[in-house]
Amino acid sequence: MLHERLEPVYDNVVQRNRGETEFHQAVREVLESIGPVIDKHPEYAEQKIIERICEPERQITFRVPWEDDSGEVHINRGFRVEFNSALGPYKGGLRFHPSVYQGIVKFLGFEQIFKNALTGLPIGGGKGGADFDPKGRSDREIMRFCQSFMTELHRHIGEYTDVPAGDIGVGGREVGYLFGQYKRITNRYESGVLTGKHLSFGGARVRTEATGYGCAFFVQEMLAARGESFEGKQVVVSGSGNVAIYTMEKVHQLGGTVVACSDSSGYVHDENGIDVELVKQLKEVERTRISAYVERRPGAKFVADRSVWEVPCQVAMPSATQNELDADDAATLIANGCVAVGEGANMPTTPDAVRSFQEAGVAFGPGKAANAGGVATSALEMQQNASRASWSFEFTEQRLEQIMKDVHARCYATAEEYGMPGNYVAGANINGFTNVADAMLRLGLI
């Protein structure tokens, strides 16, 4: 339920941002948590901090024309939402996917504000992307699109202004093409302007693994708070992209057994434990469907067009896309004995499903906390670029693990402080919000 002082704020957001349902959902989820904060800190309401946070500082929409290998011209639409810079330069990824539109970018950017604040690092929140589908495109087509995209975007970003990174559809290849065009246009080797770069030109070790590793570290902390661990537990991970792959890898290292993963065609169930190296080969090298897994792994089975959440597990880690785990899936997981859920993707669990988990006493780690490892390591990459340094894999992973432990501790302690012990959703929302709100108060009415 919304606090009575927040109902008109939410109604205004819906009215001013018509049709942007994902953004409405993200805003409501935060507002439902911060009612007690408004009672404790009336100055936030008096200074219209909530209204200001819900309105992006800047929204950029632009045309992206490009030519395919056959000479046909295509027109896509590019976006960058620079949401809040109270704590530092805007920081958030770029997503290339046909589903991208203003509402998706704003939902992701809004989430990014609080996720970045939770890391304790000096970074604001933003997000961007394009309704471009990289699937089936050649490397040269990808390069031409990225160059056209950056030709416009370059005028809005910079290492002290706005620092994009990768997201769905934007990996190391795309970041390389984007950075190359930025360097070409600006005549500056400003390596801190983009993160997720290759190690050969300023990238950080562990950046590829960071979101998945970080999510596993966060869930490990949630389990430890209950006197448990990954040891001996069966785990289900949705998706088979970057986040899912490295979530699975770290879960195995921490003693758990991932028994299922998926893609948009269905899921594979491997009772002996998913072969992560095989998934890497299929998805990162061959770029094929997860169904090919069973051709090379005797004993595994592929189930088409069904939910991976029907596979029994003690830990569930949704790592694919938004709203992929609904109330029916939650009921199935709870009935099968699930004790912890960690969101590797952004808002992959519907509000009804979140409530079901909380009412059942399942430890639920929301994405803005559980998947903060990616942006945290991006900030570490920015630190290395600024100091012209290069850190080892082991040192960077240690920094990541400590950051995720700190994120968990902040969420846990904040939930306790506001009388909601064990509620990581409230803890994450309140801690992230108050960090940003306090900075905004101190910066004046801007």
- Report pLDDT digits (tens) over 138-189: 999 999 999 999 999 999 999 999 999 999 899 899 999 999 999 999 999 9
Task: Write down the pLDDT at residue 126.
Answer: 98
> SS3 for 237?
strand
Does the pLDDT at position 275 exceed 90?
yes
Region 371-392 average pLDDT:
94
pLDDT at 434 over 90: yes
Mean pLDDT of 6-13: 96
pLDDT band at 321 (very low <50, low <70, confident <90, very high): confident
- 329, two tokens: 């899936």
**Contact (Cβ atoms closer than 8 angstroms) between residue 315 and residue 235:** yes
In angstroms, rounded to a whole number, what is the distance separating the alpha carbons of residues 259 and 270? Answer: 5
Residue 268 pLDDT class (50, 70, 90 cuts):
very high
Q: Which fold has domain 57-189?
A: Rossmann fold (3.40.50)
Question: Among all residues, which ones are annotated catalytic?
Answer: 127
pLDDT at 347: 87
Q: Please state the rounded mean pLDDT for residues 220-233.
A: 97
Q: Average pLDDT in the 247-275 region?
A: 97
| Closest C-alpha among 310, 374, 364, 375 to residue 336 | 310
Q: Which residue has the tokens 């340094």?
A: 389
- H-helix or E-strand containing 94? strand 90-96
CATH architecture of the domain 210-370 equals 3-Layer(aba) Sandwich (3.40)
pLDDT of 258 strictly over 90 = yes
Residue 369 has pLDDT above 90, yes or no: yes
Looking at residue 322, its pLDDT comes to 85
Quick one: pLDDT at residue 442? 97
pLDDT at 419: 95
- pLDDT value, residue 346: 87
CA gap 207, 183 in Å, rounded: 21
- Average pLDDT for the chain: 96
Query: What is residue 231's predicted lDDT score, i.e. its pLDDT?
Result: 97
pLDDT at residue 256, as a whole number: 98
105 residue type, one letter? V
Confidence of residue 437 (pLDDT cuts 50, 70, 90): very high
Strand partners, 76: 64
Asked whether the predicted pLDDT for residue 326 surpasses 90, the reply is yes
Contact 432, 115 (CB under 8 A): yes
Equal fold, 57-189 vs 210-370? yes
Q: In what order do the strands lie in the sheet with 363-365?
A: 301-304, 266-269, 257-263, 234-237, 315-317, 340-342, 363-365
pLDDT value of position 1: 80
pTM: 0.91
What end-to-end distance do the CA atoms of the chain give, in Å? 30
- For the stretch 186-217, pLDDT in tens is 999 999 999 999 999 999 999 989 999 999 99
Hey, what are 386's tokens?
């600024």
What is the residue extent of each domain of the chain? 57-189, 210-370
